[in-house]
């Protein structure tokens, strides 16, 4: 990402004129002298990576340290109300749109769909006084954040907040809008009805086989057997009776899943791992995806677990001590906005690295990609610079370029050579390990 591209990204996502117009439309500011709305919004979004106090207190401290009008803490907390929530919600929607307009990176086994989507949820504990609005599964208050994440753009697509006790599955809807896409689902979203919906709307899926599901083998394509497999043989029976051998080789079969008239046809894949076999259900064809490739695709689902870590480690989404539901939602959405802006920069850098390697005809990446957690910490430290540059109405990109170089230097992934993720390997963002420090010194 160049300085000009960074300026365009931040001035589009955090457009000063739009923020001021939305502030008036939603009634965020009651008296002009009270609130520097631009400084407040940027402080809300970028405040992270420090742990001197609660999230709201750190936002206040950052807000004041960058020259905003003095305000006492009680008055500052009163600004966290419905109009401000509407403003942050709209800014997050726009940031998601900007991220999804980027080019998708879907090479190799990721191809064949318009995008792969990962769905998952995370839980954050809240003050016990909020237990009525956000009841947890025990004697505590907690919010569940449901997220849908794009593999192609490496960014957030959609989100929803519910009480922590709500089940994950009810949030995911498979309908015509998903036609031509793919879903990587954990056990919380697995159901016979969902598989049937994926078939109806031409949605590719990969999900883990539930322990209590008893798929019946219709046709064994790959796998070592000691005797003939009878039609409709139960997978567990075949394994328990040592008819289907778990000998370290992949298993591939056509199966029927379900009972009592509610059944669906699917493909069962068994992949050997150091901890034993993992079984997956999928409707990907054998022409494009072998068993090991299906297993690698499911491993890409780990990216959303990394994204949860990004939210918690860098955006501090789990350090919310607010006592009003509206304040909680504002702070959570500000954290999501923080990570969405950073993820867009990360994706832009990935695209630039891949383009550079193609032009130079070099196999693999020629420089380190940016790590989202390190980038978000660098953005937090550059809060004052970001506010100043956003307020400057100029086409001079020299300072934006300097800021981008600083972000790239502080945010580069130190493990990109030694420990590339499955997604990095599939997307071609890897390089040879190189020499260690001792070898270089010698």
**What is the overall mean pLDDT for the chain?**
84
Confidence of residue 415 (pLDDT cuts 50, 70, 90): confident
Percent of all residues in the chain with a pLDDT value above 70, rounded to a whole number: 88
Angle at 344 between CA 155 and CA 156, to 5 degrees: 20
What sign for the dihedral angle of Cα 413, 415, 417, 423? negative
Q: Has residue 172 got a pLDDT over 50? A: yes
Do 369 and 353 contact (CB within 8 A), yes or no? yes
Q: Has residue 163 got a pLDDT over 70? A: yes
What is residue 52's predicted lDDT score, i.e. its pLDDT?
47
135 - beta bridge partners?
A: 141
Confidence of residue 198 (pLDDT cuts 50, 70, 90): very high
225-273, pLDDT tens digit by residue? 777 766 667 777 777 766 777 788 889 989 888 877 788 999 999 999 8
What is residue 48's predicted lDDT score, i.e. its pLDDT?
54
**pTM: predicted TM-score of the whole model, two decimal places:** 0.87
What is residue 382's predicted lDDT score, i.e. its pLDDT?
84
Are β-strands 116-126 and 182-185 bridged in parallel, bridged antiparallel, or unpaired?
Answer: parallel
Tell me what the mean pLDDT of segment 96-117 comes to: 95
Domain boundaries, the chain: 3-102+346-427, 204-300
Structure tokens at 403: 């800021």
SS3 annotation, the chain: CCHHHHHHHHHHHCCHHHHHHHHHHHCCCCCHHHCCHHHHHHHHHHCCCCCCCCHHHHHHHHHHHCCCCCCCHHHHHHCCCHHHHHHHHHHHHHHHHHHHCCCCCCCHHHCCCCCEEEEEEEEEEECHHHCCCCECCCCCEEEEEEEEEECCCCEEEEEEEEECCCCCHHHCCCCHHHCCCEEEECHHHCCHHHHHHHHHCCCEEEEECCCCCCCEEEEEEECEECCCCCCCEEHHHHHHCCCEECCCCCEEEEEEEEECCEEEEEEEEEEEECCEEEEEEECCCCCCCCHHHHHHHHHCCHHHHHHHHHHHHCCCCCCCCCCCHHHHHHHHHHHHHHHHHHHHHHHHHHHHHHHHHHHHCCCCCCCCCECHHHHHHHHHHCHHHHHHHHHCCCCCCHHHHHHHHHHHHHHECCCCCCCCCHHHHHHCCCCCCCCCHHHHHC
Confidence of residue 321 (pLDDT cuts 50, 70, 90): confident
* Separation of alpha carbons 10 and 388, rounded Å: 12
DSSP tag of 209: P
9-61, pLDDT tens digit by residue? 988 888 888 888 888 888 876 555 566 777 777 777 776 544 544 566 667 76
What is residue 244's predicted lDDT score, i.e. its pLDDT?
78
- Helix, strand, coil shares of the chain as percentages rounded to 5? 45, 20, 35
- The DSSP element (H or E) to which 253 belongs, if any, is strand 251-259
Do 265 and 279 contact (CB within 8 A), yes or no? no
């Amino acid at each position: 990402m160049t300085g000009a591209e960074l300026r365009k990204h931040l001035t589009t996502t955090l457009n000063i004129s739009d923020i001021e117009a939305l502030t008036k439309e939603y009634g965020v500011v009651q008296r002009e002298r009270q609130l520097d709305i631009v400084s407040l919004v940027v402080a809300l979004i970028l405040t992270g990576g420090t742990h001197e106090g609660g999230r709201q207190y750190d936002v206040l401290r950052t807000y004041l340290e960058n020259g905003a009008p003095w305000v006492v803490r009680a008055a500052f907390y009163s600004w966290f109300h419905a109009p401000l929530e509407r403003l942050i919600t709209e800014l997050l929607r726009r940031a998601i749109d900007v991220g999804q307009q980027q080019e998708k990176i879907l090479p190799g086994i990721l191809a064949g769909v318009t995008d792969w989507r990962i769905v998952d949820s995370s839980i954050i504990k809240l003050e016990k006084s909020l237990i009525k609005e956000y009841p947890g599964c025990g004697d505590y208050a907690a919010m569940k954040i449901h997220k849908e994440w794009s593999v192609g753009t490496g960014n957030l697509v959609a989100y929803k907040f519910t009480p922590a006790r709500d089940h994950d599955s009810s949030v995911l809807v498979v309908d015509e809008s998903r036609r031509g896409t793919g879903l990587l689902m954990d056990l919380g979203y697995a159901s016979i009805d969902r598989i049937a919906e994926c078939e109806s709307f031409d949605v590719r899926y990969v999900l883990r086989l539930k322990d209590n599901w008893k798929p019946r083998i219709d046709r064994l394509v790959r796998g070592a057997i000691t005797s003939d497999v009878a039609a409709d043989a139960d997978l567990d029976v075949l394994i328990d009776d040592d008819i289907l051998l778990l000998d370290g080789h992949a298993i591939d079969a056509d199966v029927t899943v379900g009972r009592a008239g509610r059944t669906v046809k699917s493909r069962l894949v068994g992949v050997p791992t150091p901890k034993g076999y993992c079984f997956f259900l999928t409707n990907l064809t054998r022409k494009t995806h072998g068993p090991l490739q299906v297993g690698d695709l499911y491993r890409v689902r780990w990216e959303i677990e990394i994204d949860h870590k990004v939210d918690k480690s860098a955006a501090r989404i789990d350090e919310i001590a607010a006592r009003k539901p509206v304040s909680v939602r504002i702070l959570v959405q500000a954290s999501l906005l923080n990570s969405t802006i950073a993820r867009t920069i990360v994706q832009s850098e990935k695209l630039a690295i891949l383009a550079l390697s193609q032009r130079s005809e070099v196999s693999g990446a020629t420089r380190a990609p940016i790590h989202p957690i390190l980038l978000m910490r660098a953005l937090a430290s550059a809060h004052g610079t970001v506010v100043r540059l956003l307020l400057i109405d100029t086409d001079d990109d020299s300072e934006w370029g300097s800021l981008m170089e600083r972000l790239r230097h502080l945010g580069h992934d130190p493990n990109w050579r030694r420990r590339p993720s499955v997604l990095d390997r599939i997307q071609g963002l890897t390089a040879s390990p190189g020499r260690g420090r001792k070898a270089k010194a010698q």
